[in-house]
Structure 1
C-alpha cells in the first residue's frame, strides 16, 4: 500500500473536507431550488389551467344568457315561425352586438342553415355538426367548441319553442390569437390551442412564435433539470396539455407553456454566488492547509529522524521537541522514555545473550567469542572442562530446584577462582584460569568445588570429572577446543579417572566410537547380515547335560572389522539405540529357538538386557506377541542383566522384572559380586538365578580367597532360593569344586567357547553323552 507524507495527508484532508462541504452545499441548493422551481411551475400551470377553464365557463354563461333572451323574445319567435328572414337577421344582429358575439345563426330542426350573422353559414346548407343539433333538440340546448370556416368558436345552442321547438338559435364567440394573448397577460403563460379533426391538426392558435412552437409542444410533461438548463440549454419551455373538448371526430387540445429561463433567472444568480463563495473557501483552505500541515509535520519529521537514530542503536542524545503542541511534546517524552527503556533492555538482552541465565556464567556462544580473542593473543592458556557426574540423577533425586541451586553454587565457586567461566550445557561447565595450574592445584580446585552443597532442604555431594587442555597445543581454535574438551570428559567417564589431560589418542578412540555409531546404525537398518548370535553352553552340574545357552551378539563390519561387544554395546547405550540391538537379538534368538525345537533339542536361550531395555514398558508385550506367534513357551527364553544397571531406578526395575517373572521367564543377575551387591537389595529382586562373575572363577582352583567368595555367594543364593551360574570355567578342577559346593550351572571355555548357531547344534549332538566330570575337555 502506497504511503504519503503527513503534511500531504493533512493538506488533502482539509482541502477535501472543504471541497466536499462546498459541493454538498451546491448540490443541496441545486436540488432544493430545482424542486422548488418544479413545484412553482406545476402550480403556475395548474392555476393557468383553472383560469382558462373559468374564462371559458364565464363566456359560456354569457352565451347562454344571451341565447335565452333571444329565444324568449316573442317577436323573434314570430319572425322565425313566419320565416321572416330580414327580421330574423335584424334580431340576430342586435342581440349579437349587445354581447359582441362573433357568430349568430338560426338552424332548422332538420339541421339546415336558415341564416347567419355574419353570413358564414350558407343558407339552405346542412349545419356542419348535425349531432350537436340533435343533442340540442333532445336536451333543449347544447354548448360546444366548433370549427366553422376555419375558425374556432365557443358556441351555445338553444331551441326556439313556440311552444314546441321550431328552430335552433346558435350564438358563439371566436377563440383567436387575441383571446389567447389576453389569457397570457393574465396567467403569464403562453397558450396554444390545437384543433384536430379526424386525427389531423386542422387549426392551431398560439401566443408562441412559430419558430419555437414545435419545441414548446415537444416539451410537455418535461421534468426540470438544472444540468440541462445550465449547461445544455435544451429545455427553454415546460408545457402542460389538457383536453378541452372531444366532440366525436373533433378534439380541442390546450397546451400551456412556461418560459423556464425566466423562472430560473434568480436561481442561476444564486448558484453563481454560491459557486464563487465555494471557490473562495477552497482557495483559503488550500493556503491554511499548507501552513497547518507544514507546522504539524515539521516536528513530527524531526521526531521520526530521532526514532530512526534510535533504531540504529544510538541512545545517548537528548530528545527536544520544537513545538507548542501538547501532543508533539508528549510524543517527544514518549520517545525519550522509549530510548531509555530500549537502552536498558538492550543491555539486559545483551547480557542474557552472552550469559547463562541460571548461573551467570558465560554461555557457549559468548565463551566462543572470548576464546577466539584469547587465541588471537597467541599466548598459551589452560582450559578445564567440568562435568557434574550424574547430574540427571541429582535432578531426579533432589528435584530440579535443588539441581539448579547446585549449579549456581558451583558457578559461584568457579568465579571465586577468577578467570573465565562458562556453562556449556546441562551439568557441563568450562573454566579458563588466569594462570596455569599444576596438577596439585587442579586437585585442590576440584576439591574446593566438591565441597558439600547445602540447598536448605538437603546436602548434595557433587562428584566432578575434569578434562584439561593446554592451548594452543591441544586445540588451535574455539570449535576444536569445545570438541576436544568433550572428548576428554567422555574419556574420564569411560576410564573412571576423574581428572584427565587431553591426549591425541583420546580423539582416535572418540572417532572410532563415532564410526561405530554410524556403521552400527547402517548394520541395524540395511546390513543385518553383519550381525550374528554366538551361543555359549551352560552345563547343568546335577545332570551333566547342557540345557541352557547364553546368546552373545557378534559384529563383523566391512570397514571396522570385528568390533567387540564391550565396545559397541556401550556406544549404543550412550547413543540411545540399544533398544534396536535388543530387538534384533530377540528376533534372532526366537528364530534360533524355533529351529532348536524343530530339531528336537530342548534348550533355553539367555538374552542379555540393558537397564534401558528393562525400563521399556513396550518390550514385554512385544516379546509376548513374538513368542505366541512362534508358539514358544516362556521356558525357551530367559534374561540376564547386571546389578549395576538395576540399582539406578530400583523401584521401577523391580516392577518391570516382576512383570517378566509373571509371564514365566527366568531372570538372572549377571556379574554378581562386582557392583552394588546388597542383601537388602537382593531379597526384593524377583530373580531366579545369580551369575558369579568370572573374575572370581578363573583361578578358583588355586586361590583360596576366591573359593571363600564363591562358596559364600552360592550359600547366599541358596538361602534366597536362587540358582547359581558360575562363568569363566577353564579347568576340570574348578568344575568339580563348583559341583561339590552345589552350584547349579557352569559356563566357560572348559566346556565350550561361544560358537555360531549352526556349530551349536553340531556341538550339542556331539557332546550329548560327554561326562565332563571324568575327562578333560
Structure 2
C-alpha cells in the first residue's frame, strides 16, 4: 500500500467512525421518536376504542328500545289479540307478516306461555325460528326488557320479546331484526371507526357477514381469537372485540381503528427529522474530512520521512516540528530519532569498516579499497598489496599478557602507518597479528622497497614502560596486474607469499605461483607427493659436517630430494612449504627418519659411529605421538637415539612454547641430541633457551656467509659461539663456502662446520665414498 492509500484509508476511518457515531445517535433519537409516536398513537386509539365500544353498546340498546316499542304495539293490537284468543291462524300469520314488514323485522313469531312456537311469518323456515328461540328466548326471559343476538344461517339478528295479555298472559311476541350494514354504517359515520361483525358456526367456521372494511382485508378476519394489533390488507389496525351475546351464541363485533392513519400526521415530522439527519451527516462528513485531513497531512509527511529513513536518507529534516500540539510532539520525536539514527548509523559504518583496537581499516574495508584500486576506472595503473604477519606474537601474548599485546598491536599499526608514502596508501589490520598495506600506483620495485622500510622500522624495539619487545615479521607482496584478476585473489596471493616468507625466514617475498598450495600445479604436485612415498621416488641425501676442534666425529645433515619421473629432480622449496601447510610434512619427517635409521643399521655404516641431523617442523613438535613413533622405528632396526640430532628452528618452538618444550623433554629423555637450527634469526629469550634440553646451536648461514664482508656478522658469530660455550652447548656453522670462512670459524673455536666448500648434499652411497676419501686425506 502506497502513502496515498494509507492517507486515504486513515481519512476514511476517521470520517467513517465519526459519521457512524453520529448516525447511531440520530438513529437512536429517531427510534425514540418513532416509539413515542407509535405508543402515543396506540394510547389515543385505545381511548377512542373505549368510546367506540360504549357508543356501540348504546346504539344496540337504543335499537333494542325501538324494537321493543314496535313489538309492544303489535302485542297490544286488539285484532291481533282477538285472533290469538279465537285461534285464527291465518289472521295471526298475516298480522305477523304485515307488522314485521312495516317495522323492518326479518323474523316475527308468536310463542305460547310455555315458549313454544304458535305461529311465524313465512319469511323463514320453522327450523330457523326454532334456532332463534333456542338461542335468544332463555336470555330474554331472564331479562325481558333487553335484547339478545342470535345467529341464524350465519346472519346475526337482534331479538326482542314482549308479553301479550288479554288481560291475562296469553303468549309472547318475538321479533328479530338483522344487524346489517345500516347499523355499522351509522357507527362508522358517527365515530369514523370500522366495524365488522364476526360469527362462528357450530363447526367452528368463522364468517364476517357485515363489515365496513374493504374486501382485501376480509380474508384476514377469519380468526375468531383476533384482537389487539393486526395487519389487515397491508394496513396496521388496532382491533377491539365486543361480544354481542350473553354467551349462548357465537357472534361479536370488531371495532377497528387504523394505526397508520393516526401516525400519518407525524410522518411529516419524521421526514423532516430524516432530512435534518442527512444534512447533518453531510455537514459532519465535510467537517470531519477537513479535520481528518489536517491530522493526516502531517502524518503523511511523517510517513514519507520514515520511508526516507528506511532508505538511509538521514539528511532531510522532519516537517511540522514547530507545531505545539501532539503532531508537533510526534514530529520532534521523529526528528530526534532521525538524528540519533544518523549518528548511530555513522558509528556503525565506521565500526564496520574499522578495526576497533587499532583504529585502522579492517579486512572488509581493505578488500573494498583493493576493488576500487583495480576497478575499471583504474586503467593499467599498477597496484601492490603487502601482507604482514608478526613473528612469535602468540608467545608475546602468553608472556606479557593480552593487555600489553593489544598495546603492541596498536604500536605496530602506528609504525606501519608511519611508513606510508601518501594518504592514498591504505593500512589495515586483517585480523589477529596480521596487517596489510595497499599501495595504489606502486610497482614491484616500490613494493619491495616499502617492505624493507617496514622491516627496518621493526628493527627498533618497542618500549612499554620498563619493558621492551623485539619484533620481526614476514611480509608477502602481490602486484596487479599480473598476480591476480580480482581483489580477493590479489589479497590471498599476498598472504600466501607472507606465509612463505615466514616459513623461509626471508623477511619479504614476492608472490610466485609455486607458493600457492591451492593452485592447480601445486595441488597436482601435492597429490603426486603423496604417491611418491609409496613409489619410492624420494631420495635421502646427506650433507657432511666436519669438526674444527680436532676431536673425532662423523656427522651429516639429512635432506630430502624428489626424483620425479617426469619433472626430474624437484627442488625442496617447491614441495616442502606445501607439505608444511597441509600437514603432510609429518609423513615426510617419518620417511626421512626411517630411511636414516635403515642407513645407520647397515653393517658397513655402523663402524662409522655416524650422527645424522634431521629437521623437525612445528607440526612435528605438536604431534603428541612423535616420540613414540620415532622410538618404534629405532627399536625395529636396533639403532640408538644417540645416533640422531634433531634440529628445531626458534620459530617452531615459539609458536607453541609449552607444548614444544614438553615434546623436547620427551625426546631428550629418549637420548636424542637436540639442536636449535638457524639460530640468530628468531627471538627466543636466553632464559627460555636455558630451560630447553638442547645440546647444540646452529648459526644461520646468512651470518656465516656475511663474515667475509661484514664485521657485524662476524661479531654475531663470535658472540653466538661464546654464548653457546658458556651455556655448555656445541656450535655448528652452516653456509661455509670458502676456505677463509672455514679458517676464521676455526679461529673463533667453532665446533663444527657445514657448507658447499666442504661438500654439497650427497646421495647415501656417494656420502660413504666421500667419507672414505676424507678419512684417507686425514
- Alignment TM class, shorter chain as reference: 0.5 to 0.7
Q: Which residue of 1 aligns with 2:209?
A: 204
Query: Does the CA-based 8 Å contact 2:461-2:470 persist in structure 1?
Result: yes
For 1:145 and 1:405, locate their aligned partners in 2 and report how far apart those are by CA, in whole Å: 128
Query: Does the CA-based 8 Å contact 1:177-1:205 persist in structure 2?
Result: yes
Query: Does the CA-based 8 Å contact 2:197-2:209 persist in structure 1?
Result: yes
Equivalent of 1:180, from 179, 184, 190? 184
Closer/same/farther in 2, CA of residues 459 and 64 from structure 1, 3 Å limit: farther
Closer/same/farther in 2, CA of residues 565 and 219 from structure 1, 3 Å limit: farther
Matched residue SS, 1:127: helix
Matches within 5 A, 1:264-663: 264-289=263-288, 291-292=290-291, 295=294, 321=320, 326-330=325-329, 333-334=332-333, 337=336, 340-341=339-340, 344-345=343-344, 347-363=346-362, 364-368=366-370, 371-372=373-374, 376=378, 384-395=386-397, 398=400, 400-419=402-421, 420-426=425-431, 427-431=433-437, 445-449=454-458, 451-453=460-462, 460-468=469-477, 481-498=490-507, 500-502=508-510, 506-511=511-516, 514-515=519-520, 518-519=523-524, 532=534, 571=578, 573-575=580-582, 649=656
Matched residue SS, 1:114: strand
TM-score by length of 1: 0.56
Q: Which residue of 1 aligns with 2:131?
A: 128
Closer/same/farther in 2, CA of residues 391 and 255 from structure 1, 3 Å limit: farther
For 1:262 and 1:178, locate their aligned partners in 2 and report how far apart those are by CA, in whole Å: 24
Alpha-carbon shift at residue 382 of structure 1 (Å): 7.0
Closer/same/farther in 2, CA of residues 257 and 385 from structure 1, 3 Å limit: same
Q: Deviations over 1:727-756 (max 9, x none)?
A: xxxxxxxxxxxxxxxxxxxxx968x99xxx
For 1:32 and 1:62, locate their aligned partners in 2 and report how far apart those are by CA, in whole Å: 44
For 1:556 and 1:477, locate their aligned partners in 2 and report how far apart those are by CA, in whole Å: 36
Closer/same/farther in 2, CA of residues 323 and 289 from structure 1, 3 Å limit: farther
Q: Which residue of 2 aligns with 1:258?
A: 257
Matched residue SS, 2:150: strand
Alpha-carbon shift at residue 410 of structure 1 (Å): 0.8
For 2:65 and 2:669, locate their aligned partners in 1 and report how far apart those are by CA, in whole Å: 147
Query: Does the CA-based 8 Å contact 2:427-2:437 persist in structure 1?
Result: yes
For 2:379 and 2:446, locate their aligned partners in 1 and report how far apart those are by CA, in whole Å: 20
Alpha-carbon shift at residue 407 of structure 1 (Å): 1.5
Alpha-carbon shift at residue 511 of structure 1 (Å): 3.7
Query: Does the CA-based 8 Å contact 1:670-1:692 persist in structure 2?
Result: no
Query: Does the CA-based 8 Å contact 1:468-1:488 persist in structure 2?
Result: yes
Matched residue SS, 2:512: helix
Q: Which residue of 2 aligns with 1:191?
A: 195
Query: Does the CA-based 8 Å contact 1:136-1:159 persist in structure 2?
Result: no
Closer/same/farther in 2, CA of residues 655 and 60 from structure 1, 3 Å limit: farther
For 1:307 and 1:441, locate their aligned partners in 2 and report how far apart those are by CA, in whole Å: 49
For 2:662 and 2:68, locate their aligned partners in 1 and report how far apart those are by CA, in whole Å: 140
Q: Which residue of 2 aligns with 1:775?
A: none
Closer/same/farther in 2, CA of residues 18 and 373 from structure 1, 3 Å limit: closer
Matched residue SS, 1:153: strand
Query: Does the CA-based 8 Å contact 2:157-2:176 persist in structure 1?
Result: yes
Alpha-carbon shift at residue 411 of structure 1 (Å): 0.9
Closer/same/farther in 2, CA of residues 321 and 221 from structure 1, 3 Å limit: farther
CA RMSD, Structure 1 to Structure 2 (Å) = 7.0
Alpha-carbon shift at residue 412 of structure 1 (Å): 1.5
For 1:101 and 1:182, locate their aligned partners in 2 and report how far apart those are by CA, in whole Å: 18
2:149 matches 1:145: yes
Query: Does the CA-based 8 Å contact 1:145-1:245 persist in structure 2?
Result: yes
For 1:574 and 1:479, locate their aligned partners in 2 and report how far apart those are by CA, in whole Å: 20
Deviates more, 1:216-225 or 1:121-130: 216-225
Query: Does the CA-based 8 Å contact 1:107-1:167 persist in structure 2?
Result: yes
Closer/same/farther in 2, CA of residues 208 and 533 from structure 1, 3 Å limit: same
Structure 2 unaligned blocks of 5 or more: 70-74, 541-558, 592-614, 678-683, 699-720, 731-762, 769-778
Matched residue SS, 2:234: coil
Query: Does the CA-based 8 Å contact 1:216-1:237 persist in structure 2?
Result: no
Closer/same/farther in 2, CA of residues 458 and 166 from structure 1, 3 Å limit: farther
Matched residue SS, 2:534: strand
Deviates more, 1:671-680 or 1:260-269: 671-680
For 2:469 and 2:476, locate their aligned partners in 1 and report how far apart those are by CA, in whole Å: 22
Matched residue SS, 1:128: helix
Query: Does the CA-based 8 Å contact 1:386-1:467 persist in structure 2?
Result: yes
Query: Does the CA-based 8 Å contact 1:156-1:172 persist in structure 2?
Result: yes
Query: Does the CA-based 8 Å contact 1:109-1:167 persist in structure 2?
Result: yes
Alpha-carbon shift at residue 359 of structure 1 (Å): 1.7
For 2:523 and 2:764, locate their aligned partners in 1 and report how far apart those are by CA, in whole Å: 33
Matched residue SS, 2:131: coil
Give the count of matched residue pairs. Answer: 618
Query: Does the CA-based 8 Å contact 1:319-1:336 persist in structure 2?
Result: yes
Closer/same/farther in 2, CA of residues 653 and 522 from structure 1, 3 Å limit: same
For 1:681 and 1:146, locate their aligned partners in 2 and report how far apart those are by CA, in whole Å: 145
Q: Deviations over 1:503-527 (max 9, x none)?
A: xxx5132146644764489789xxx
Query: Does the CA-based 8 Å contact 2:68-2:160 persist in structure 1?
Result: no
Query: Does the CA-based 8 Å contact 2:195-2:255 persist in structure 1?
Result: yes
Alpha-carbon shift at residue 147 of structure 1 (Å): 2.4
Closer/same/farther in 2, CA of residues 261 and 520 from structure 1, 3 Å limit: farther
For 1:671 and 1:222, locate their aligned partners in 2 and report how far apart those are by CA, in whole Å: 131
Closer/same/farther in 2, CA of residues 666 and 424 from structure 1, 3 Å limit: closer
